[in-house]
Amino acid sequence: MVTFAWPWMFLLLPLPWLFRRLLRPSDQRDAALRVPHLAAFEALLPRRGRSTANRWLPLLALWLIWMALLTAAARPERLGDTVMVPVSGRDLMLAVDLSGSMNREDMVLNGRPASRLEVLKLVFDDFVTRRGGDRVGLILFATNAYLKAPLTFDLATVNRLMQETPLGIAGGRTAIGDGIGLAVKHLRDRPAQNRVLVLMTDGANNSGELEPIKAAELAAQAGIRIYTIGFGSDEMERPNLFGGAFGRRSLEAGADMDEDVLIEIASMTGGEYFRARHSEELLQIYRNLNALEPVPGPEETFRPQRPLFIWPLSVALFTSLLLGLLQGRRGLGGLL
């Protein structure tokens, strides 16, 4: 089905005729050009006996150009079949810790050591692609917290922004409270009963202006449920200077995580706390979060639109070029 977004543009169709009728030539006779004789201009005069088609062809071409330009200006577009858009009504904000500890290689990915951030990006991709129908936003926090992506249905863009985020872009410390506070700011004005924050961190709050518990109180007052995830292995093996099977030492990689605060934040807001010690656990946690009951929302429909203005515009351009070539050839023939 072809429609026009601006059909009122066709009201300008008689505009050239109106100009022709209203703007009459001047009657001042003194403005005429006086020359001693007209012999030099005789070759430029139209030849007698020119056919009626040759007289009307330029005028028809000009009208065709004008109508084609108006058609293009009216924005013709082809409408596709109606597509149902799944909308759950949930607003889901993801707050991700990007502090320096996320660079620790205490994870295993495809049989090789991997950093926490590398594993998180892989799991994040799986989680976001399953959020069809939800508005998803992204907050990154470390020493500072900032909004990377506002709430949007464009899940591919949110995922791409996360995948392209380097470590250390927000500092090296951890401001959990500021991350929660920023999420509250962007979720509190959304419809009630569908505000969810998923906060993932591998450390304790040691930076920022807002304490995590105070931020959780603000979230609870705004009706925001917070699901907290503590991420990081309990132990990390590193080879020492001697190497070999007897040369590996075990480190407490998750000792700096404040699980009590994360548990209290989830409890205060009606959410839940999860502990992920390796990549498989983190993947399962995010898949469990996908089982959250959606809030029914109004059905939305979408009809894909394909612009067609290029076709009438091409007709106007081609006709203009053709008319110019014909007029130029005719004038050149008269001179010769």
The residues, any chain, with a CB within 8 Å of residue 327's CB and separated by 6 or more, are: 58
For tokens 């609870």, name the residue: 220
Cβ of 27: how many Cβ atoms within 10 Å?
A: 6
Task: Give, for all 336 residues of the chain, the pLDDT tens digit.
Answer: 788 889 898 998 888 888 877 876 655 555 555 655 555 555 555 555 455 556 678 888 888 999 999 999 999 998 877 766 655 567 889 999 888 888 888 777 777 788 888 888 888 888 888 777 788 999 999 888 989 999 988 899 999 999 988 877 777 788 899 999 999 999 888 776 678 899 998 888 888 888 999 999 999 999 999 999 888 776 554 545 444 444 444 444 445 678 899 999 999 999 989 888 877 887 788 877 776 655 455 556 667 788 888 999 999 999 988 888 877 666 544 434
In a domain, 274, yes or no: yes
In a shared domain, residues 93 and 176: yes
In a shared domain, residues 218 and 327: no
- Output the pTM of the full model: 0.59
- pLDDT at site 158: 92
> Is 173 strand, coil or helix?
coil
Of 118, 104, 176, give the one whose Cα is nearest residue 143: 176
State the Cα–Cα distance between residues 191 and 223, nearest whole angstrom: 10
Q: Which residue range forms the structural domain that includes residue 225?
A: 85-289
CA 241 and chain centroid, separation: 49
In a domain, 32, yes or no: no
- pLDDT at site 248: 43
Residue 257 zone, left/alpha/beta (φ > 0; ψ -120 to 50; rest):
beta
State the Cα–Cα distance between residues 275 and 233, nearest whole angstrom: 10
The CATH number given to whatever domain includes residue 98 is 3.40.50.410
Helix 212-221 crosses helix 176-187 at what angle (to 10 degrees)? Answer: 20
State the Cα–Cα distance between residues 92 and 136, nearest whole angstrom: 5
In a shared domain, residues 270 and 323: no
In a shared domain, residues 269 and 330: no
What values do phi and psi take at 35, rounded to 5?
-130, 150
